[in-house]
Amino acid sequence: MSFNNLDNLYRQVIMDHYKNPRNKGSLEEGNLVVDMNNPTCGDRIHLTMKVEDGKVTDAKFDGEGCSISMASASMMTQTIIGQELEEALKLSHIFSEMIQGKDFDDEDMDLGDIEALQGVSKFPARIKCATLAWKAMEKGLKEQQ
């Protein structure tokens, strides 16, 4: 697959998550609630997660922001549901390395749609947009530990 075709595919994945977000809303029974915003651009997220027996059993988000921010939140919630806390935090670390354009080790993890955000590393101003939901998730899970 050529670079242009791959780039177009990634854009389509991002726009699909933006226009049809997964896990959008709020959990009534969520035991972790995190609100964060990016004052630079106005993106904001309200993340609710349900954690039971050291595992993220559900996660939802609400908020406002650009396509990158909201697509990233959709991808993140989709990916962490069912993960042990350590696994979810490891995914967050891998995502952070990837989004900063660094080498990352995803050997034992399937990043799925998240890989579509890899190109954001070329746009430093958008990195904070892509990482907002992940930072909210990290904050909530670290408080849980």
Nearest CA among 43, 53, 124 for reference residue 83: 53
pLDDT at 130 over 90: yes
Whether the model pTM is above 0.85: yes
The tens digit of pLDDT for each residue in 39-68 reads 888 999 999 999 999 999 999 999 999 999
Amino acid (one-letter) located at 94 = I
pLDDT band, residue 106 (cuts 50/70/90): confident
CATH of region 3-144, choose from 3.90.1010.10, 3.30.460.10, 3.40.50.1820, 3.50.50.60: 3.90.1010.10
As beta bridge partners, residue 50 has 58
Cβ neighbours of 12 (radius 10 Å): 11
Three-class HEC string of 80-127:
HCCCEHHHHHHHHHHHHHHHCCCCCCCCCCCCHHHHHHHHHHHCHHHH
